[in-house]
Amino acid sequence: MSNYVAEFFGTLLLVLLGDGVVASVLLKKTKSENAGWLAITIGWGLAVMLAIYAVGRISGAHLNPALTLAFAFNGIFPADQAMGYILSQFAGAFTGAVLVWVHFLPHWRETPDGQTKLAVFCTAPAIRHTLSNLFSEIMATAVLTLALLFIGANKFAEGLNPVIVGTLIVSIGLSLGGTTGFAMNPARDLGPRFAHFILPIHGKGNSDWGYAWIPVVGPLLGGLLGAWVYQIIF
């Protein structure tokens, strides 16, 4: 049970800090309003790093259903634990998003645009093109999965792995994230999207359910693709 609690807490921390930096940049009258894409990518990288430090020694810090399935596919994670991990990740992501809403409570009313509010919780494409958007999520998650497997095959100084992984997230965000917002994680996107749908956010608009399947299916396929390529190489 401790592994599932760790995945819940780690994913909560990931979304709290990750969606938190997006809220800080996008919502009106924050002290970091308009800080830009670099701030968001660095913030997400640091969020991943801190979440791994928090729970990595307990659960391995998957924090992502796409990675859990990829690791189970590769045989480095017990398949019978996958569903428990995934449910914990979705619950943690949802809870983290609720905490972001509470933390920035007065800023929602100050922000007039509904799409900006939605962007705090989940991803959306810069240009809507279904195949391109799906490919972007598959590609980014395949790179993530391959890189994590490569990192796991190397020895670093004790405690350094989370820093390397956080840097990896920044690199993917800067290089491949500009098309869809680099979800790469079904829980990170769908859990907060449900929070947006349920919460009484002033002037929030719709939750863009027509796009919601892409940051779920794309990362799942990308994770499996990355795991399969790794098997071929090694």
DSSP string for residues in 174-234: HHHTTTT-----HHHHHHHHHHHHHS--TT-----TTTTTHHHHHHHHHHHHHHHHHHHH-
* Domain that includes residue 118, residue range: 2-233
What is the value of pTM for the model shown?
0.96
**pLDDT score, position 154:** 59
CA distance 210 to 93: 20
- How is residue 28 written in tokens? 């009106």
**pLDDT score, position 160:** 87
CATH number of the domain encompassing residue 56: 1.20.1080.10
CA distance 180 to 134: 9
CA distance 96 to 90: 10
Instruction: Burial-class residue 206 by CB neighbours within 10 Å (0-12, 13-18, 19+).
Output: exposed
- How is residue 45 written in tokens? 């990288």
**pLDDT score, position 197:** 98
Cβ pair 76, 42 in contact under 8 A: no
136: nearest Cα among 186, 185, 177, 167:
177
**pLDDT score, position 214:** 98
**pLDDT score, position 151:** 86
The 10s digit of each residue's pLDDT in 14-27 is 999 999 999 999 99
**pLDDT score, position 152:** 77
Number of domains in the chain: 1
CA distance 7 to 59: 7
- How is residue 11 written in tokens? 């994913």
**Splitting the chain (234 residues) into consecutive groups of 10 residues, what average pLDDT does each group show?**
94 98 98 98 98 94 97 95 98 98 98 98 98 98 96 68 95 98 98 98 96 98 97 89
**pLDDT score, position 59:** 95
**pLDDT score, position 156:** 57
Amino acid letter, 138: I
The 10s digit of each residue's pLDDT in 210-234 is 999 999 999 999 999 999 999 998 8
3-state secondary structure of 112: coil
CA distance 206 to 34: 23
**pLDDT score, position 69:** 98
Residue in this structure with the two tokens 């494409």, named with its chain if needed: 125
